[in-house]
Amino acid sequence: MLSSKLPDVGVSIFSQMTLLAQETGALNLAQGFPDYDPPLALREALARHALAAGSHQYAPMPGLPRLRQAIAAQVGRLQPDAPAPDADLEVTITAGATEALYGVLAAVVRPGDEVIILEPAYDLYGPAVRLQGGVPRYVRLPAPHFRPDWAAVRAALSERTRLLLINSPHNPSGAVFSAADWDELADLTAGTDILVLSDEVYEHLVFERVGPRSARQHPALRARCFVLSSFGKTYHATGWKVGYCLAPPALSAELRRVHQFVTFSVSTPTQHALADALETDPTDAHARGLATFYQAKRDAFTAGLAGSGWALLPVPGGYFQLAGYAAFSQKSDRAFAEELARTWGVAVVPVSAFYHDGYDAGLVRFCFAKNDETLRAATGRLAQAPLPVAAKAST
């Protein structure tokens, strides 16, 4: 009889809510993907390379050299306060940030090692740690701003702590690390062998002016951190599943030991297309324009809900909006999310799904990475007469 390694893990809440949206015809503001296409020039580049001779065999295991060089050059331009990564030794192309994250954990976490996870957290983190025999140690981020309580993080450390997993801009809240947060993290790990895995897939989606956006921009963190990025988020192409990891040579070498036996290499024509996009954008206009692009969507979404009873939390980055619904219902967030899809025609994610113990703060998550028409339709439905306040229910 097979004994499951993850007996308590089922289909993700994102897939569940997307299926519910399909069943009910609800607008899908649950799963984090845009309902618009990547830039035309990028799509044309992919079509061109998909038909070109020489684009149909394995790419080199770490990634196409021209793509790694283009990434290194862009990172150097966007992070002038840090040395550009070495394209050969410090940049690894992966099958999305998901594979990069799993590969890092598989490379460095051994049975019994502890990994600090700040929650609410993306639902991949805990199971990926457990699959390595590691022990997740959860530290709760205090609402409504979801910035780390560094005293609580320090208290969670032990002699078995192997890695600290952070996410900025944060999913689901949109919280962004400040310069002071990076300093606290550096101080916390100073004099230890603790590594840092920094999930930065929403790196370009920062709306308020803040200090350094990446762990690698802090000189005391650079030598101990893996930084994850996602072309899927940057170019509205989540289905392409291409990401990359930046890490010092010794850490990159360990990631590549795993990567070569998981995916080995990533789609060759897709890598060529992405290299084209970076090489033909020497001022990084696309990346630099993303904050303005998504801030406009955030502002349109919040304006559409003004005065409607939704308690909207601050969103300094990313493309998600958290909202309290106490004006409409006292149900659990899961029960309310299902009712919202079936009754109001909008699918959302209950935030309890981002807590390992199902903690329910009475919040749901909207994705505003949608066309203007979708956002107008969604806010129109959400701003209608509220549901009757129901008795507290449990799921």
- Per-residue model confidence as pLDDT tens digits over 59-72: 999 999 999 999 99
Q: What is the pLDDT of residue 213?
A: 85
CATH 3.90.1150.10, applies to 13-38+286-382: yes
CATH number of 40-279: 3.40.640.10
Q: pTM for the whole thing? A: 0.94
Q: What is the pLDDT of residue 393?
A: 42
Please tell me whether the peptide bond between 169 and the residue prior to it is cis, using omega within 30 degrees of 0: yes
Mean pLDDT (whole number) for 176-190: 96
Q: What is the pLDDT of residue 395?
A: 40
Q: CA nearest 215: which of 147, 169, 275, 171? A: 169
Average pLDDT, the chain: 93
The answer to whether the CB of 89 falls within 8 A of the CB of 252 is yes
12 vs 39: which has the higher pLDDT: 39
The answer to whether the CB of 236 falls within 8 A of the CB of 36 is yes
- State pLDDT tens for residues 328-338: 999 999 999 99
CA distance 133 to 2: 18
- In the chain, CATH 3.90.1150.10 sits at 13-38+286-382
Consecutive H or E run containing 141: none
Can you say whether the dihedral through the CA atoms of 280, 99, 226, 184 is positive or negative? Answer: positive
- State pLDDT tens for residues 342-357: 999 999 999 999 999 9
Q: What is the pLDDT of residue 288?
A: 95
- In the chain, CATH 3.40.640.10 sits at 40-279
Joined together, the tokens standing for residue 163 give 């890695």
- State pLDDT tens for residues 212-269: 789 999 999 999 999 999 999 999 999 999 999 999 999 999 999 999 999 999 999 9
